[in-house]
Structure 1
């Protein structure tokens, strides 16, 4: 079966963001800096501590990230959302409380007409989240 994973690009704060997501969601977090990679000699020395690749792994999801922004720069938009399907009501409430810290809640946690406990928020790093728990 195919899986879709989310890859986030940051502008120098990948370590901070991914560490925050780990504190919210749990899992195993790994980082590779530019300085630890084979491309180090091809990059400006100021990028040595930038995150080339990070991975947050849990049995039910993979979230990846990097500080390697394109030459065109990052453009924050509303075309990408991270959908987190939760297995319990406690999970969705816990994730909501943690991910919304310092962010903006666009749709509060509430029961929906489609039979789910749902919320929508933008975290403190500007990333858009949809949290869903099918409670039927």
Structure 2
């Protein structure tokens, strides 16, 4: 397998719910391991996610975890997860699910460069960009 680049998201105690939500959006196989499974069974964070990985039928890989015990979770605005391609139905389906219950900053519509593009933040505070390539 060659190198790959994928987003790794940090959460403040709701990583399992977020990763299950993304699995419902994109499908695929989700593997979740907790701090308790990695040798910290007696801590208050034992049930928190130490590492989660979603691999989807479309070839996406999304990883995430709850912030480790003792480390603050500070969501930032210095990243977005970008989805792009030509399959309009697939990408619109992702958009509908990701934007539901979240905030739409840029509606998914045709832009001046010819593509359909939108920006939203999902209900877990993760910003997304969706770009559907023009003909």
Same fold, TM exceeding 0.5? yes
State the match for 1:98 in structure 2: 97
Tell me how far 1:69 sits from its aligned partner.
4.1
Once structures 1 and 2 are overlaid, which stretch shifts more, 109-118 or 93-102? 109-118
State the match for 2:46 in structure 1: 48
Tell me the alpha carbon deviations over residues 51-103 of structure 1, each in whole angstroms, 9 at most, x when there is no partner. Answer: 11000102421100001347451222211100011341101211111001110
TM-score for both structures, normalised by structure 1 = 0.89
State the match for 1:66 in structure 2: 65
TM-score for both structures, normalised by structure 2 = 0.89
State the match for 2:15 in structure 1: 14
Q: Distance in 2 between matches of 1:27 and 1:113?
A: 34
State the match for 1:133 in structure 2: 132
Report the aligned-residue RMSD: 1.7
Contact 1:10 1:69 in 2 (8 A): no
Contact 2:117 2:131 in 1 (8 A): yes
Written as runs of structure 1 = structure 2, the 5 A alignment for 1:67-82 is: 67-69=66-68, 71-82=70-81
Written as runs of structure 1 = structure 2, the 5 A alignment for 1:100-115 is: 100-115=99-114
Q: Specify every segment of 5 or more residues in structure 2 that has no aligned partner in the other structure, as ranges.
A: none
Give the total of aligned pairs.
133
Contact 1:120 1:128 in 2 (8 A): yes
Once structures 1 and 2 are overlaid, which stretch shifts more, 107-116 or 94-103? 107-116
